[in-house]
Amino acid sequence: MTRFVTIERGLGPDGRIAVVRFDRGDGINAMSPEAMRQLTEAARSFEDDGATSVVVLTGAAKAFTAGFDLKDPEGRARKTMDLGTLRRHLKLGPRLTRAWQDMEQITIGAIEGFCVGGGVALAVALDFRVMARDAHMRVPEIGLGMNMSWQSVPRMLHLMGPARTKQAVILADHRITAAEAYEWRLVEEVAEPGKAFDAAMALAAKVAAQPPLSVAMTKLTVNRLTHALDDLTSHMDVDQFALASLSEDHKEGVAAFLERRKPKFRGR
């Protein structure tokens, strides 16, 4: 099995920083189901790690991630799955983002190049995001006849508010620049091109210098208060996605994407 995710621990002050790097080596860095499993395992590997206070998540040099891999054989097999199998398979995304959100360590995303779809869903599950000035984000799901899932809408709502969340999700073709992402409160810091990782590590060093137990407990308190009602608002997330994936519009959206043409949606 090819490893797409690497983990380096013991960095920074007193060795309290770890780096998780997701890099498929293809310049696109799409998230196949196997890549999603590896990213989930990476987050869970810190559950009993009391030596690490901060985890920096970074992608490839030119791409954080292009989001879910529509060309991956396992992913494309979804169109032939029965509803029960499809629902189970669709839990990979929510399981991934939940694993990163629930980590006791402070998490920081270092974003270079593009961050698309599932990449945005993963980024908003982190505590902080640092984005290169020439990078951009995009949420293309609606343009593919799907709904934005992985329980990311409540997280985006907490960060940006309702109008900006609607703008980011509904206007699927809109590239959110680093300046816009900062203005919209989608990211906390903008770095020079090629320096997002360095800036994320500098922020990580500041966090790692704080008392680890107090930091962990504060994060837990803030997250519990912030996300207390999220499950109520997103409990239908997987089923909505499954339902949308059975629509003709979804088939047309994916076909148009693969054929590099504009889709023709008919609301059915």
Instruction: Compute CA distances 104 → 143, 188, 213, 216, whole Å.
Output: 35, 20, 9, 5
Q: Looking up tokens 């903008």, which residue turns up?
A: 190
Q: What is the pLDDT of residues 152-202, one digit of tens each?
A: 999 999 999 999 999 999 998 899 999 999 999 999 999 999 999 999 999
CATH of the domain at 20: 3.90.226.10
Instruction: Give mean pLDDT, residues 33-37.
Output: 92
CA 134 to chain centre: 19
Please give the Cα distance from 145 to 43 (Å, whole number): 30
Which is higher by pLDDT, 19 or 231?
19
Please give the Cα distance from 122 to 129 (Å, whole number): 11
Question: What would the two tokens of residue 251 be?
Answer: 């088939």
Q: Is 168 part of any domain?
A: yes
Q: Domain range for residue 81? A: 5-196+232-259
Provide CB contacts within 8 A for 225, sequence distance 6+.
none
Residue among 155, 43, 46 at smallest CA distance from 99: 43
- The one-letter amino acid at 29: N
Q: Is 46 part of any domain?
A: yes
Q: Is 88 part of any domain?
A: yes
The reported pTM is: 0.90
Residue 223, pLDDT > 70, answer yes
Instruction: Provide the number of structural domains found in the chain.
Output: 1
Please give the Cα distance from 186 to 117 (Å, whole number): 14
Q: Is 97 part of any domain?
A: yes
Question: What would the two tokens of residue 69 be?
Answer: 């891999």
Q: What is the pLDDT of residues 94-147, one digit of tens each?
A: 999 999 999 999 999 999 999 999 999 999 999 999 999 999 999 988 888 778
- The one-letter amino acid at 22: F
Q: Is 244 part of any domain?
A: yes
Of the given ranges (5-14, 27-36, 38-47), which has the lowest mean pLDDT?
27-36
Q: Looking up tokens 């996300």, which residue turns up?
A: 227
Report pLDDT for 187.
Answer: 97
Q: Is 44 part of any domain?
A: yes
Report pLDDT for 251.
Answer: 78
Q: Is 225 part of any domain?
A: no
Please give the Cα distance from 87 to 161 (Å, whole number): 29
Q: State residue 263 phi and psi, 5-degree precision.
A: -75, 160
Q: Is 209 part of any domain?
A: no
